[in-house]
Amino acid sequence: MSDDGAMVTCHLCGRSEDEQPLTWMTSVERGVTRYYCDQCSREHVRAIEGKLDSDWW
């Protein structure tokens, strides 16, 4: 679940869940918490490991 108890939405594809599934990842970019679903995380794993901001993906 997000910090405020609200629904979580993937920052890239817009997929939503009532609470954060264990397969989703979380990233803090410039002080903003962003959530990424398992599919988007797998698709962009190299950029994530390289610590690139999602704006570059």
Residue boundaries of the structural domains of the chain = 8-56
Check residues 21 and 57 and name the one with the higher pLDDT: 21
Letter for the amino acid at 27?
A: S
CA distance 43 to 41: 6
CA distance 17 to 31: 22
Percent of the chain past pLDDT 90, that is, above it, reads 37
The model's confidence at residue 57, banded by pLDDT at 50, 70 and 90, is low
Q: How does pLDDT run across 1-23, given as a tens digit for each residue?
A: 455 567 999 999 999 999 888 99
pLDDT of residue 38: 94
Q: Which residues contact 40 (CB under 8 A, 6 or more apart)?
A: 10, 11, 12, 13
CA distance 29 to 37: 16
